[in-house]
Amino acid sequence: MRNTIIMDSFDLYLNSLNNKNRLDFAEFQGVNWINFYRDISLIEERNALVLESNSNSLFKNTKPYYRSISPGCKICGEGKWSCLFITNKCNASCFYCPASQDQDAIPTTQSLAFPSPEEYAEYVKFFGFKGVAFSGGEPLLFFDKTLAYLKAVRKICPDVYIWIYTNGILADKEKMTKLVEAGLNEIRFDIGATDYNIDKIKFASGVIPNITVEIPAVPEKTELLQMLLKQLESVGVTNLNLHQLRLTEYNAPRLLKHNYTYVNAERPIVLESEISALRILKYAKENLMNIGVNYCSFFYKYRFQKAGFRKILANGADVNPNDVTENGFIRKIEDNKLEYNTFSISHTPNENSKILNIGNGKYFLKTEKTGFKIDFDDDIKSFLSEVKSDKLLKIPIDDEKFQIYSKECIEKGLREI
């Protein structure tokens, strides 16, 4: 008689990610998917570093850090920021870039286009964002446009914290001065785009209040970055943000030339990149560096940024805060049924849309059904009470309860490998 292995709901979910990733990247040769026998030494090192980092980690242990994180990072983790992509054109060619960056476009965020700086600023004000970031592409390629949006946000939202992402190639003293005079609070340099040359950062030193270096953790550059920490401190950098490399259809042809190991998550992520970030963080701690270092993990970004925007839209729809879950879904209990919904926003009307007139812009909030609806019986009532009181000790095995958990809670920690 054949033994049957019954997988619990979370394992089934993880298995579905495995299958989806392999299907999505089936056309690419040489994807080195993780092998739990072959890669045991990498897995053991990663797990040991994760365990050590948990003693100083934010946002449900998804953002390990040393010493400090920037004000912008705090706002991001709280889900109260908006990132406007000023352009889709870039003047660098980083092998790890996840998307095409070859043409200019109308500034966008969350699939919303903002041809007018004032329209965007009114959108920021209406939804109550506490932070705004300008990204791209490369914002400094279109400096006047970037400056116009910055000035509009600062005028209409005087208390918002504003930062900008740049590769720094076009940075100079004049631009840095104009940015800070327009109200910029923080600048973030991707020095990976300039082969880790930090000369352009000096133009921001003493001009812009907060200077951050934000880059993917490239495994081959681990020791170089460790040695650069002192130099970064000397030019006024207060924080180093390290991202995890991930595989996309756009960067696959170049990323796959590197001998990386890919872990199945909601997107394929690079195991060695996480190890690199945690090694650098550990090095900073052991050497008592003055610079703050944090690991901006894929799980942090995927969970907290998505949950944050769901909450922003729920607030814009005037949903009772008590009905909004930690994960940003709308809990609805009606006719002894429990279900969860969320919202989407667009410029396109729908018969069930709620119209939002914000300044000169018109937007449409649409209720999106998750497809999950069950009887609200005594067992489910008891489980929901346990979840809401934060007494749940482990991810539930049962499918219905797992679905409730996934809508109610943000998953904790850097997922086990």
Question: What pLDDT score does 4 carry?
Answer: 44
Sequence length of the chain is 417
Structure confidence at residue 391 as a pLDDT band (50, 70, 90): confident
Q: Which residues contact 401 (CB under 8 A, 6 or more apart)?
A: 9, 380, 383
Domain 40-306 in CATH 3.20.20.70: yes
Say which residues have a Cβ less than 8 Å from residue 216's Cβ, sequence separation at least 6: 96, 192, 242, 243, 244, 245, 273
What is the pTM assigned to this prediction? Answer: 0.94
Q: Give the pLDDT of residue 90.
A: 96
Helical H runs in 54-172? Answer: 71-77, 117-127, 143-156
Given a cut of 80, whether residue 7 has pLDDT beyond it is no
Q: Which amino acid is at 253?
A: P
The answer to whether residue 169 scores a pLDDT higher than 90 is yes
Q: What element of type H or E holds 135?
A: strand 131-135
User: Which residues make Cβ contacts (< 8 Å) with residue 214, sequence separation at least 6?
Assistant: 165, 188, 189, 190, 240, 241, 243, 296
Residue 5 pLDDT > 70: no
Is the pLDDT score of 2 beyond 70? no
Describe the chain by its helix, strand, coil percentages, rounded to 5.
40, 25, 35
Kindly state the average pLDDT of the residues 342-365. 92
Among candidate residues 185, 209, 85, the one with its CA nearest the CA of residue 131: 185
| Predicted confidence band of residue 351 (pLDDT cuts 50, 70, 90) | confident
For residues 78-95, give the mean pLDDT: 96
Summarize the confidence of residues 52-73 as an average pLDDT: 97
Average pLDDT over every residue of 38-47: 97
- The stretch 32-57 carries a mean pLDDT of 97
Among candidates 336, 330, 404, which has minimal Cα distance to 367? Answer: 330
287-307 burial code (b ≥16 CB/10 A, e <16): eebebbbbbbbbbbbbbbebb
Distance CA 115, CA 137 (A): 17
Give residue 6's pLDDT band: very low, low, confident or very high (50, 70, 90).
Answer: low
Angle at 129 between CA 146 and CA 72, to 5 degrees: 70
What is the tens place of the pLDDT at every residue in 272-330? Answer: 999 999 999 999 999 999 999 999 999 999 999 999 999 999 999 999 999 999 999 99
Q: What is the DSSP letter of 353?
A: P
3-state secondary structure of 377: coil
Which residue ranges make up each domain of the chain?
40-306, 320-408
Question: Which pLDDT score is estimated for 390?
Answer: 84
* pLDDT over threshold 70, residue 21: yes
Q: Over the stretch 115-142, which tens digit does the pLDDT of each residue have?
A: 999 999 999 999 999 999 999 999 999 9
Tell me, what amino acid is at 393? L
The arithmetic mean of pLDDT across residues 87-92, rounded, is 96
The mean pLDDT value for 328-340 works out to: 97
For residue 148, the model assigns a pLDDT of: 98
Of 350 and 291, which is predicted with more confidence? 291
SS3 state at 397: coil
* Angle between helices 222-234 and 271-286 in degrees, nearest 10: 40
pLDDT of residue 274: 98
In this prediction, residue 3 has a pLDDT band, given cuts at 50, 70 and 90, of very low
Confidence category of residue 1, pLDDT binned at 50, 70, 90: very low
Report pLDDT digits (tens) over 198-225: 999 999 999 999 999 999 999 999 999 9
State the chain's mean pLDDT as an integer.
Answer: 95
Asked if residues 83 and 114 have their Cβ atoms less than 8 Å apart, the reply is: no
Burial class of 240 by CB neighbour count within 10 A (0 to 12, 13 to 18, 19+): buried
